[in-house]
Amino acid sequence: MSEAKNIILVGFMGSGKSVVGRVLARLTGSSMVDADAELVRKAGRPISQIFQEDGEPAFRELERSVIRDLCSQSGKVIAAGGGSFVDQDNRNLMLANGQVVCLSARPETILQRISRSQGNEKQVGNAPVRPLLAGDDPLRRIKELLAQRAESYAQADYTVETDELTPEQVADKVLELCRAAEKVPEI
Ligand code: S3P
Protein backbone atom coordinates (compact mmCIF):
# COMPACT_ATOMS: atom_id res chain seq x y z
CA MET A 1 0.00 0.00 0.00
CA SER A 2 1.33 3.45 -0.84
CA GLU A 3 2.06 5.85 2.02
CA ALA A 4 -0.28 8.77 2.67
CA LYS A 5 0.81 11.94 0.93
CA ASN A 6 1.72 15.02 2.89
CA ILE A 7 -0.47 18.09 2.75
CA ILE A 8 1.89 21.02 2.34
CA LEU A 9 0.67 24.55 2.97
CA VAL A 10 2.55 27.35 1.26
CA GLY A 11 1.79 31.03 0.73
CA PHE A 12 2.72 34.43 2.03
CA MET A 13 3.34 35.33 5.68
CA GLY A 14 0.02 35.85 7.43
CA SER A 15 -1.92 33.68 5.01
CA GLY A 16 -2.79 31.36 7.90
CA LYS A 17 -0.58 28.34 7.20
CA SER A 18 0.20 27.48 10.83
CA VAL A 19 -3.31 27.99 12.17
CA VAL A 20 -4.96 26.14 9.27
CA GLY A 21 -2.30 23.43 9.54
CA ARG A 22 -3.29 22.78 13.14
CA VAL A 23 -6.96 22.49 12.20
CA LEU A 24 -6.11 20.15 9.31
CA ALA A 25 -4.03 17.95 11.59
CA ARG A 26 -6.95 17.69 14.01
CA LEU A 27 -9.40 16.86 11.21
CA THR A 28 -7.18 14.22 9.61
CA GLY A 29 -5.67 12.78 12.78
CA SER A 30 -2.18 13.36 11.42
CA SER A 31 0.60 15.41 12.92
CA MET A 32 1.44 18.92 11.89
CA VAL A 33 4.97 20.21 11.43
CA ASP A 34 5.75 23.90 11.22
CA ALA A 35 8.87 24.35 9.08
CA ASP A 36 9.83 27.65 10.77
CA ALA A 37 9.57 26.07 14.22
CA GLU A 38 11.76 23.17 13.04
CA LEU A 39 14.29 25.63 11.67
CA VAL A 40 14.41 27.58 14.93
CA ARG A 41 14.85 24.34 16.87
CA LYS A 42 17.66 23.20 14.57
CA ALA A 43 19.45 26.58 14.63
CA GLY A 44 18.86 27.16 18.34
CA ARG A 45 18.07 30.80 17.54
CA PRO A 46 14.96 32.75 16.54
CA ILE A 47 14.49 33.66 12.88
CA SER A 48 15.05 37.39 13.49
CA GLN A 49 18.42 36.61 15.06
CA ILE A 50 19.47 34.36 12.16
CA PHE A 51 18.60 37.14 9.71
CA GLN A 52 20.42 39.72 11.81
CA GLU A 53 23.57 37.74 12.53
CA ASP A 54 24.01 35.61 9.39
CA GLY A 55 21.82 37.27 6.74
CA GLU A 56 19.03 35.99 4.53
CA PRO A 57 21.15 33.62 2.35
CA ALA A 58 22.21 31.66 5.47
CA PHE A 59 18.57 31.53 6.58
CA ARG A 60 17.53 30.19 3.14
CA GLU A 61 20.23 27.50 3.31
CA LEU A 62 18.89 26.32 6.66
CA GLU A 63 15.37 26.48 5.28
CA ARG A 64 16.36 24.23 2.36
CA SER A 65 17.75 21.61 4.73
CA VAL A 66 14.56 21.68 6.84
CA ILE A 67 12.37 21.34 3.73
CA ARG A 68 14.49 18.38 2.57
CA ASP A 69 13.99 16.67 5.96
CA LEU A 70 10.27 17.34 6.08
CA CYS A 71 9.70 16.20 2.50
CA SER A 72 11.27 12.83 3.28
CA GLN A 73 8.36 12.16 5.67
CA SER A 74 4.83 11.12 4.76
CA GLY A 75 1.31 11.54 6.06
CA LYS A 76 2.07 14.90 7.66
CA VAL A 77 0.52 18.32 7.47
CA ILE A 78 3.44 20.66 6.77
CA ALA A 79 3.20 24.43 7.19
CA ALA A 80 6.09 25.82 5.14
CA GLY A 81 7.71 29.23 5.64
CA GLY A 82 6.36 31.90 3.29
CA GLY A 83 9.52 32.21 1.18
CA SER A 84 10.39 28.53 0.91
CA PHE A 85 8.26 27.81 -2.16
CA VAL A 86 10.10 30.51 -4.11
CA ASP A 87 13.21 28.34 -4.23
CA GLN A 88 13.10 25.99 -7.22
CA ASP A 89 14.66 23.00 -5.42
CA ASN A 90 12.25 23.34 -2.50
CA ARG A 91 9.37 23.71 -4.92
CA ASN A 92 10.27 20.52 -6.82
CA LEU A 93 10.65 18.58 -3.58
CA MET A 94 7.35 19.80 -2.16
CA LEU A 95 5.41 19.13 -5.37
CA ALA A 96 6.88 15.62 -5.55
CA ASN A 97 6.17 14.78 -1.91
CA GLY A 98 2.77 16.18 -1.16
CA GLN A 99 -0.32 17.98 -2.27
CA VAL A 100 0.75 21.59 -2.22
CA VAL A 101 -1.93 24.11 -1.33
CA CYS A 102 -1.21 27.82 -1.48
CA LEU A 103 -3.19 29.95 0.96
CA SER A 104 -3.65 33.41 -0.46
CA ALA A 105 -4.88 36.69 1.00
CA ARG A 106 -5.06 40.35 0.00
CA PRO A 107 -2.15 42.55 1.14
CA GLU A 108 -4.42 44.45 3.56
CA THR A 109 -5.61 41.19 5.15
CA ILE A 110 -2.02 40.03 5.48
CA LEU A 111 -1.00 43.27 7.18
CA GLN A 112 -3.89 42.99 9.62
CA ARG A 113 -3.07 39.39 10.48
CA ILE A 114 0.64 39.90 10.96
CA SER A 115 0.08 42.98 13.11
CA ARG A 116 -2.01 40.78 15.37
CA SER A 117 0.67 38.10 15.47
CA GLN A 118 3.35 40.44 16.89
CA GLY A 119 3.44 39.33 20.48
CA ASN A 120 2.33 35.75 19.81
CA GLU A 121 4.36 32.61 20.52
CA LYS A 122 6.75 33.37 17.65
CA GLN A 123 7.89 36.65 19.21
CA VAL A 124 11.24 36.74 20.99
CA GLY A 125 11.95 39.91 22.96
CA ASN A 126 11.21 42.97 20.85
CA ALA A 127 12.64 41.52 17.65
CA PRO A 128 10.23 41.57 14.70
CA VAL A 129 8.59 38.18 14.20
CA ARG A 130 9.02 38.67 10.43
CA PRO A 131 12.25 40.53 9.62
CA LEU A 132 11.41 40.80 5.91
CA LEU A 133 8.53 43.11 6.75
CA ALA A 134 10.33 45.30 9.26
CA GLY A 135 10.41 48.96 8.19
CA ASP A 136 8.09 51.92 8.03
CA ASP A 137 5.88 50.82 5.13
CA PRO A 138 5.07 47.14 5.61
CA LEU A 139 2.04 47.28 3.26
CA ARG A 140 4.23 48.43 0.36
CA ARG A 141 6.77 45.72 1.20
CA ILE A 142 4.01 43.07 1.27
CA LYS A 143 2.81 44.19 -2.17
CA GLU A 144 6.35 44.15 -3.58
CA LEU A 145 7.11 40.69 -2.25
CA LEU A 146 3.73 39.32 -3.37
CA ALA A 147 4.42 40.58 -6.90
CA GLN A 148 7.90 39.02 -6.88
CA ARG A 149 6.53 35.71 -5.65
CA ALA A 150 3.30 35.46 -7.65
CA GLU A 151 4.80 33.22 -10.33
CA SER A 152 6.16 30.77 -7.76
CA TYR A 153 2.98 30.60 -5.69
CA ALA A 154 0.98 29.97 -8.88
CA GLN A 155 2.81 26.64 -9.22
CA ALA A 156 1.10 25.12 -6.18
CA ASP A 157 -1.34 22.31 -6.93
CA TYR A 158 -4.22 24.40 -5.55
CA THR A 159 -4.87 27.87 -4.21
CA VAL A 160 -7.43 28.76 -1.55
CA GLU A 161 -8.37 32.40 -1.03
CA THR A 162 -8.64 32.93 2.68
CA ASP A 163 -9.72 36.57 3.15
CA GLU A 164 -13.33 35.91 4.04
CA LEU A 165 -12.91 32.49 5.62
CA THR A 166 -12.27 31.19 9.12
CA PRO A 167 -9.34 28.77 9.58
CA GLU A 168 -11.88 25.93 9.87
CA GLN A 169 -13.49 26.87 6.56
CA VAL A 170 -10.09 27.08 4.88
CA ALA A 171 -9.15 23.67 6.27
CA ASP A 172 -12.42 22.18 4.95
CA LYS A 173 -11.67 23.56 1.48
CA VAL A 174 -8.12 22.21 1.55
CA LEU A 175 -9.37 18.76 2.50
CA GLU A 176 -12.05 18.81 -0.15
CA LEU A 177 -9.45 19.60 -2.83
CA CYS A 178 -6.97 17.00 -1.61
CA ARG A 179 -9.60 14.29 -1.29
CA ALA A 180 -11.05 14.98 -4.73
CA ALA A 181 -7.57 14.68 -6.24
CA GLU A 182 -6.97 11.32 -4.58
CA LYS A 183 -10.24 9.82 -5.73
CA VAL A 184 -9.64 6.91 -8.10
CA PRO A 185 -11.98 7.18 -11.08
CA GLU A 186 -14.56 4.37 -11.27
CA ILE A 187 -14.11 1.98 -14.16
C1 S3P B 1 9.43 34.37 5.39
C2 S3P B 1 8.32 33.89 6.05
C3 S3P B 1 8.36 33.51 7.47
C4 S3P B 1 9.78 33.09 7.87
C5 S3P B 1 10.76 34.14 7.51
C6 S3P B 1 10.77 34.47 6.02
C7 S3P B 1 9.30 34.76 3.97
O8 S3P B 1 7.47 32.41 7.70
O9 S3P B 1 10.12 31.87 7.26
O10 S3P B 1 10.48 35.29 8.26
O11 S3P B 1 10.31 34.89 3.27
O12 S3P B 1 8.14 34.94 3.50
P13 S3P B 1 5.85 32.56 7.79
O14 S3P B 1 5.34 32.54 6.38
O15 S3P B 1 5.45 31.34 8.55
O16 S3P B 1 5.57 33.82 8.50
Taking CB atoms and a 6 Å cutoff, what residues make up the pocket around ligand 1? 13, 17, 36, 47, 81-83, 130-132
- Burial grade of 86 (CB within 10 A; 0-12, 13-18, 19 or more): middle
- pLDDT value at residue 136: 86
What residue's CA is closest to ligand 1, atom 16?
A: 13
- Residue 95 near residue 84 (C-beta atoms within 8 A): no
Domain boundaries along the sequence of the chain:
6-179
> Considering only the top CATH level, what class is 6-179?
alpha beta
What residue's CA is closest to ligand 1, atom 5?
A: 130
What pTM, to 2 d.p., does this model score?
0.92
Query: What is the distance, to the nearest Å, from the Cα of residue 33 to the centroid of all Cα atoms in its chain?
Result: 10
Confidence of residue 182 (pLDDT cuts 50, 70, 90): confident
Please identify, by atom number, the ligand 1 atom nearest to the C-alpha of residue 129: 10
pLDDT digits (tens, 9 = 90+) for 107-164: 999 999 998 876 554 544 555 678 899 888 999 999 999 999 999 999 999 999 999 9
